[in-house]
Structure 1
């Protein structure tokens, strides 16, 4: 079984879910899109992932702000409002009678091309909007066990050719980094920025704990993570020193704790990096405290949902 931050508990209900394609509902095994879709042809698309918790789409405003920013960045005009897209999301959630423990993936591509090409002017129909809601809860065993990382030779790119903050479909460099990590016997990849400082992981954001302080990268070369931002927020509101700064593997190997963040898994401890045990090699006290504070923030969001 795959071990990592996206390891979910098995749920047979997902076999019969409905999926939304351009606001039409399809059975899972009948949900298809054209081979001339821009996302399939050249990775021309943006995406977002949400969690449905106790009937509330958690941090929806933050996720949609990032989605609209991503669309603007790639020059994609969205012919619907945030309210209209929210209604589409709720339509598919309600059609599946879902209320809790759901992960919702929204994928928007530029649309159907006349012929295989990068040129956006050859788009003849679109954009295409796919919404996949699944019953997905992070594996508690995986979370308690923690994950191991391997530092990839694949660097996080500079903003002048593919800004790492862009939530786009073009993820091949991250896949390459992950393949390196898997082949090295690790669960996921740690990635450095163009200057050799620690940036992020292939699919999550990275933090260390050192002498009572929480450190994460500057944000210049890492994913624009919503959970990352919420962890920084709970640190600030609970008087926990949190620094966004440049730091290297020198600091990482000597850290007291390390963890990664993501919408699906929340906070997941990192026990080993490049074969070196981090701290005591388990779920550290600060990581567990921040995990609880993050969960409390979610509950507050649900109450005011």
Structure 2
């Protein structure tokens, strides 16, 4: 089986030649930032959804951690398509990651070299909504935003979330809802949370959670349907008293929640409004990923323009 190709520090390389050493600063201290993007197969071509917003957030996260990224926007756009082409992928998950390299003498980062890698691997579309999931309420909480940067997609920020996920899975759940330092709902371990009550949507503020790109897309879609949307503080009582609950993320899209702990929503199947938004989101992704021509330039800014497109084996 051939080695997967990665884009690493400006060019496509094989996985072996791109591997950092075991003294990589980012590995030891979780000092890195990353993104997760989806590429969809549209008529045999790869189309990345919301590429520009993900690049913008990667750059913002890197700036928050003072990790320099020396590539311009056009180079970063092309790099995502290069790694897809090098691996012959259309349906894929794409993971850019910026980190500091070798050197463990002290905690300072001023003298470390910054690296940027982009990986991609096959990722087929799941069944719509994944069939729905059951969630636990995590005993671990998100730290105060005074303690860590919640709006930066930093690797170190995911340690507590991964511990919460492991505990939820060990209890027989698919994931967990995490609370913030004040006891309000923050998010799931790697997805944003939405509640449906009396035909309106409620979602936590972004005080202590990542402002998800799929979260924003769903909010915009709901408002386009004239559905009321409130970003507000929510409690576990609000979660258990909701008519419907669903999660959002780039990897999962819109994911219905069937139960939280031992509380089952409705008849134990995805609710009507969740199902409607799931379909609206899937249609939105399809509509904004259908190419009118081969990709020839940078991805459009914002989530409302068409996704850029690459023909398999080709290059933008």
- Give, in whole Å, the separation in 2 of the partners of 1:261 and 1:179: 20
Matches of 1:18 and 1:76, distance apart in 2: 24
State the distance in 1 between where 2:125 and 2:85 align.
Answer: 22
**SS of 2:149's equivalent?**
coil
Name the TM-score, length of structure 1 as normaliser: 0.88
For the pair 1:33 / 2:20, whether they are aligned, the reply is yes
Across the aligned residues of Structure 1 and Structure 2, the Cα RMSD in angstroms comes to: 2.0
Q: 5+ unaligned residues in a row in structure 2: which ranges?
A: 291-305, 308-316
- TM-score between both structures, scaled by the size of structure 2: 0.85
Q: Determine whether 1:257 maps to 2:244.
A: yes
Alpha carbons 2:6, 2:117 under 8 Å: kept: yes
1:118 to 101, 107, 110: 107
Higher relative contact order (CA 8 A, sep 6+): 2
Provide the C-alpha distance between the structure 2 equivalents of 1:142 and 1:229, rounded to a whole number of angstroms: 18
CA displacement 1:230-262 (0-9 Å, x = unmatched): 000101111111111112111111211111111
User: Which position in structure 1 is the counterpart of 2:161?
Assistant: 174
**TM superposition shift of 1:179:** 2.0
Q: CA deviation at 1:116?
A: 4.9
Alignment partners' CA distance in 2, 1:116 and 1:43: 16
Write the distance in 2 (CA, Å) between the matches of 1:116 and 1:85: 31
1:11-50 → structure 2 map (5 Å cutoff):
17-28=4-15, 32-50=19-37
Give the drift of 1:200: 0.2
Indicate conservation of the 8 Å contact 1:226/1:263, yes or no: yes
Instruction: Please name the residue that 1:7 is paired with.
Output: none
Alignment of 1:1-305 (within 5 A): 17-28=4-15, 32-53=19-40, 54=42, 55-98=46-89, 100-113=90-103, 115-123=104-112, 125=113, 127-140=114-127, 143-144=130-131, 146-170=132-156, 171-303=158-290, 304-305=306-307
User: More deviation in 215-224 or 17-26?
Assistant: 17-26
Q: 1:269 to 1:29 in 2, by over 3 A?
A: farther
More divergent stretch after superposition (19-28 vs 271-280)? 19-28
Spell out, residue by residue over 1:121-158, the C-alpha distance to the aligned partner (whole angstroms, 9 max, x if none). 241x3x222211111024318712x1111111211122
Q: Do the aligned partners of 2:194 and 2:202 also contact (CA within 8 Å) in 1?
A: yes
Q: In the TM superposition, what whole-angstrom CA distance separates every residue of 1:162-189 from its partner, at most 9, and x where no partner exists? A: 1222101112111111122123221111
Once residues 161 and 136 of structure 1 are traced to their aligned partners in structure 2, the CA distance between those partners, rounded to angstroms, is 34
Q: Is the 8 A contact 1:38 1:45 kept in 2?
A: no
Give the conservation status (yes or no) of the 8 Å contact 1:255–1:279: no
Match of 1:3 in 2: none
- Stretches of structure 1 lacking an aligned partner (at least 5 in a row): 1-12
Secondary structure in structure 2 of the residue aligned to 1:143: helix
